[in-house]
Structure 1
């Protein structure tokens, strides 16, 4: 190798990873080369490492990383050269833009098949990332790129909230106080709800929940005693029983959005619970382009403050340590783990 070097974390197979150095990739037709500034660790990255992500939604070997921010370093043929130097985030789904689902706006449901950065295409746990320039969302100069790395889960939160049709003055609850849940709280807070409850077993999430706009945080046991009194509930926990617990908080005729994906068996929602309560139940799989646009707008306007949810920042070579932090939920000092970032740009020259 004679040119500049770019490093990347490669998962050869479950539980088999290595840090690879190679020449900086070149963008092709319609593509942009991004120098990665920050990339977030997500539960789905743990699934990739453990080998538990469902068949059809991953491949090996793979460079993980689907939550990221960076700066455009170069552009390929057919791309506006003025994009170079811009801070950006980018959509992960490699949609076709021509099928019925894409034309209707559901770009996350493209019928040509699942194809996403960090799962089936090289991701952002690397110094550089190449992707179609049409998927980029430019940000203003001077943007906090640490915070911007969380705009991917923020777009999921926006998609979930939009599914509920929430209105100002309604009573709202979010089940799950992780990154996705607290980003949903920040989105919902912009609608001026009469009450904004977070249901979360970890008491250490109280301060970030309140900082995100929640009126209070309660444990699942305490939430069960509240009864069906909420107009809207957004479920983000994705654990066994969380969907049913979320539905139990709804008044009759209430609206539920499911954003969490359970990692194991769940008793789920029964038809009788839904029908007898005349509940409206929606779900999201990732996010369409429209949710990305809304998330970026809210971030630029200061309505989304994802930077406050970041608890740990590590170098690219510390991927394994980052996974352990996310799995344990606390660090060696006993501090609560929020969002964990890998920071490729912090590596010494």
Structure 2
């Protein structure tokens, strides 16, 4: 094992935000598992709050996954490597973004390259796997990605949602000259707009019912915005639809804007079953309906886009909270509609909202 400072005792526990039941979040000491040969120990700098964290906190479940035992939340993280196992591929002192969804690496799905679909894979913060809202974290070295100096460590926590957007835009097959419709101006929708612009889209329309978020979308890549609470969406001949709102009505509305031969991609978490899919229209016009789940091989591209300034992560970050106010951070995006992405700083007791 290699430590950052020889002779320095490494932590064996970490302070973490542990969810016991809906709205019951406690700051507790959790044991850190010993470092294996390929593991790294990370001092966590920042953790982004995701919609899934908010769902677990508010109701004890996210989609079909239910909180079954106390679990530390969080999966969007950045930090600094403190120590490594002998076979780890990064060195102590390296600033990293953490890729939280880890496939087994040996099944046919992982070997095909689609490790995000691994049937036995785990993801930090997805119960019962403890998450990253913690002062320290142990993870395989293959799950961390070095950050260049041009990306502040705090913003490294936003590489994970940016990777979601990169994967979604790849799944949507956005290319030069495309007209793109993005339904939902939350953090993922706005990041998708920036990535679609970087991929060569010439028109990017973003819809939502929140004027503050639509204003941010206009600043960060959208060529047009529509508040569908009071305006009719009158688009035609759209090449690519990315549905980021998780509202079935938005998907149905978006599908009717597509040209023949277009492609629609479901990005926001879908309901278990949805009625009303205009299947005959999709068939008649050979419209491809695809889905995006997390990401695979997307972190390097996400880091490059942020490092080159082609995606503005700082503009998406709207709030900071210390670990002791983790519950406030998990409520913030729902109670204040001007928030896009807030982060929790586990090692910073003075982090300001």
> Quick check: 1:239–1:266 contact (8 Å CA) kept in 2?
no
Kindly report structure 1 stretches of 4+ aligned residues shifted beyond 6 Å: none
Distance (whole Å) between structure 2 residues aligned to residue 305 and residue 57 of structure 1: 34
In 2, Cα distance between equivalents of 1:327 and 1:263: 20
TM value normalised by structure 1:
0.90
CA contact (8 A) 2:43 2:135 kept: yes
SS at match of 1:213: coil
How big is each residue's C-alpha offset from its partner over 1:147-202, in whole Å with a ceiling of 9 and x where there is no partner? 22111111111111111222211211111100000000110111332211111111
Please give the TM-score of this superposition, normalised by the length of structure 2: 0.89
1:53 positional shift: 1.9
Pairwise CA RMSD: 2.4
Separation in 2 of the partners of 1:47 and 1:114? 21
Contact 2:21–2:67 under 8 Å retained in 1: no
Q: 3-state SS of the aligned residue for 1:160? A: helix
Unaligned segments of structure 2, at least 5 residues: 1-8
Greater helix share, structure number: 1
Aligned length: 340
Larger strand fraction of residues: 2
Tell me the CA shift for residue 26 of structure 1.
4.4
Match of 1:178 in 2: 186
Question: Is the Cα–Cα contact under 8 Å of residues 3 and 23 in structure 1 kept in the other structure?
Answer: no
Displacement of 1:134 after TM fit? Answer: 1.1
Deviates more, 1:100-109 or 1:190-199: 190-199
Once the 2 structures are TM-superposed, how far is the Cα of residue 345 of structure 1 from its aligned partner? 2.6
Q: Is 1:304–2:311 an aligned residue pair?
A: yes
- Residue 310 of structure 2 aligns to a residue whose secondary structure is coil
Contact 1:147-1:305 within 8 A present in 2 as well: no
1:67 counterpart = 2:76: yes
Name 1:128's counterpart in structure 2: 136
Partner SS state of residue 322, structure 1: helix
1:273 and 1:145 mapped to 2: Cα distance?
A: 47
**Paired residue for 1:257?**
265
CA contact (8 A) 2:319 2:339 kept: yes
| Contact 2:22 2:56 (C-alpha < 8 Å) held by counterparts | yes
Distance 1:243 1:253, change over 3 A: same
Query: Cα gap change, 1:301/1:274 in structure 2, threshold over 3 Å: closer, same or farther?
Result: same
1:294 CA displacement:
1.8
* Aligned 1:138-217 pairs, distance under 5 A: 138-141=146-149, 143-217=151-225
Question: How much has 1:15 moved relative to structure 2?
Answer: 3.0
> 2:242 maps to which residue?
234
> Would the aligned equivalents of 1:38 and 1:342 in 2 still touch at CA under 8 Å?
yes
Distance between the aligned counterparts of 1:229 and 1:194, measured in 2? 13
The equivalent of 2:290 in structure 1 is 282
Q: Secondary structure at the match of 1:321?
A: helix
The Cα shift of 1:337 comes to 1.3
Cα distance, 1:222 vs. partner? 6.5
Are 1:315 and 2:322 matched, yes or no? yes
Cα distance in 1 between the residues matched to 2:64 and 2:200: 41
Aligned to 1:78: 87
Shift in Å, 1:207? 3.0
Q: 1:297-342, CA deviations, whole angstroms, 9 ceiling, x for partnerless residues?
A: 2222221222211111111111111122122233xxxxx1111110
